[in-house]
C-alpha cells in the first residue's frame, strides 16, 4: 500500500516534470518566433520591393508617353501644359525613388527586425507616391475621365 506521503511526492514530481516540459516548449516556441518573424518581414519586403520596381517601370513608360504627347503639337495642348509645369519634376522624383531602392539581389539579411519594419514603411510610402504620379498622368489623357465615369 502506498502511503499519503508517497502519493504527495509523486504528484509533486509529476507537477515538476510538467512545469519543466512547459518551460522547454515555451522556450522553443519563443526561439522559433524570433527566427520566423524577421524571415516573414524579409519576404514581405522583397515582395513589396519587386512590386514597387514593376510600378516604377510602368510609371516611367507613362512619363515617356506623356513627354512624347507634348511634342505632338497643339492638338494635345493638355499634355504639353502638364509636362511643362510638372513633368520634369515628377521624373526627378521617380529617379530619386529609384536611387533609394536596393538592388534586385538584396536579401535584407543585414537588417534587424526594426530596420526591416522601417524599410517596409518606406517602401509603402514610395508605392503611394508612384501610384499618385501614375494616376495623375493616366487621368490627364484625353477621354480618360469619360472612360472612368468622370466628367471631363
Could you read off the pLDDT of 30-88 as tens digits, one per residue? 777 666 778 888 889 989 998 999 999 999 888 888 777 777 666 556 666 667 778 88
DSSP letter, residue 102: P
Question: Residue 37: what pLDDT?
Answer: 78
55 neighbors 127 (Cβ within 8 angstroms): yes
| Confidence (pLDDT) at 67 | 77
Quote the CA–CA distance of 135 and 127 in Å, as a whole number. Answer: 12
The reported pLDDT for the residue numbered 152 is 34
Closest CA to 55 of 108, 122, 121, 132: 132
17 or 36: which leads in pLDDT: 17
Cα 45 from Cα 99, distance rounded (Å): 17
pLDDT digits (tens, 9 = 90+) for 81-119: 667 778 888 888 888 888 888 877 777 888 888 898 999
Amino acid at each position: 500500500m502506498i502511503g499519503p506521503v508517497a502519493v504527495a511526492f509523486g504528484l509533486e514530481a509529476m507537477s515538476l516534470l510538467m512545469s519543466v516540459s512547459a518551460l522547454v516548449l515555451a522556450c522553443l516556441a519563443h526561439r522559433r518566433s524570433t527566427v520566423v518573424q524577421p524571415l516573414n518581414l524579409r519576404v514581405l519586403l522583397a515582395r513589396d520591393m519587386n512590386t514597387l520596381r514593376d510600378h516604377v517601370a510602368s510609371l516611367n513608360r507613362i512619363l515617356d508617353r506623356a513627354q512624347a504627347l507634348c511634342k505632338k503639337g497643339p492638338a494635345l495642348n493638355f499634355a504639353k501644359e502638364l509636362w511643362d509645369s510638372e513633368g520634369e519634376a515628377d521624373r526627378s522624383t521617380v529617379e530619386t525613388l529609384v536611387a533609394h531602392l536596393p538592388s534586385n539581389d538584396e536579401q535584407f539579411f543585414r537588417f534587424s527586425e526594426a530596420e526591416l519594419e522601417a524599410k517596409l514603411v518606406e517602401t509603402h510610402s514610395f508605392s503611394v507616391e508612384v501610384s499618385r504620379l501614375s494616376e495623375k498622368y493616366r487621368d490627364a489623357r484625353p477621354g480618360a475621365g469619360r472612360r472612368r465615369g468622370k466628367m471631363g
